[in-house]
Amino acid sequence: MQAAQISRTGLDVEWQRLQVIAQNLANMNTTRTASGDPYRPSQLITGPKVSFADAVRDKGMPSRPTGVEVLGLEAIPGGVRRVHEPGHPHADADGFVTYPDIDHAAQMTLLIKTSRVYEANLTALTIAQQMYARALELGK
């Protein structure tokens, strides 16, 4: 059942990535968070569950793949964009409002890419389940 478990980890990671992208897009025009600071867009950091160094330490024996995991969440480098809106309630003394600098096109591209990776993991999971079921039928 290892192939199904690996695909499942991919599904979990990509689902979390979709949630982060949706949060970034939803807060694209958020001027302040609860703390009073402008919203900072985030990105999900992911990687294999077994590091390359751990695989090398296994004395040349090929380690079995174990899937992927979320390593962290970090702010997207960039910053903020200032828009001159003197009538806005969050405008500073010069009439500028601070918005998060979120690249809408980049977020949408990442959303499409992530959904395709999610679909690929779902297909792999389905195929693995079909193979296991067929193996059980042959074993009867």
Does some domain include residue 51? yes
- Produce one character per residue of 15-42: b if its CB has 16 or more CB atoms within 10 Å, e if not: eebbebbeebeebeeebeeeeeebbbbb
pLDDT: is 36 or 7 the higher one?
Answer: 7
Which helix (H) or strand (E) covers residue 43, if one does?
strand 42-48
Give the residue carrying structure tokens 């964009």: 81
High-pLDDT (> 70) share of the chain, %: 93
- pLDDT per position as a tens digit, 58-109: 665 556 778 899 999 999 887 788 999 999 999 999 999 999 999 999 999 9
Range of the domain at 117: 2-28+42-75+102-139
Does some domain include residue 116? yes
The dihedral built from the CA positions of residue 136, 133, 8 and 52, taken in this order, carries a sign that is positive
Number of domains composing the chain: 1
Does some domain include residue 89? no
The dihedral built from the CA positions of residue 26, 27, 29 and 35, taken in this order, carries a sign that is positive
Does some domain include residue 115? yes
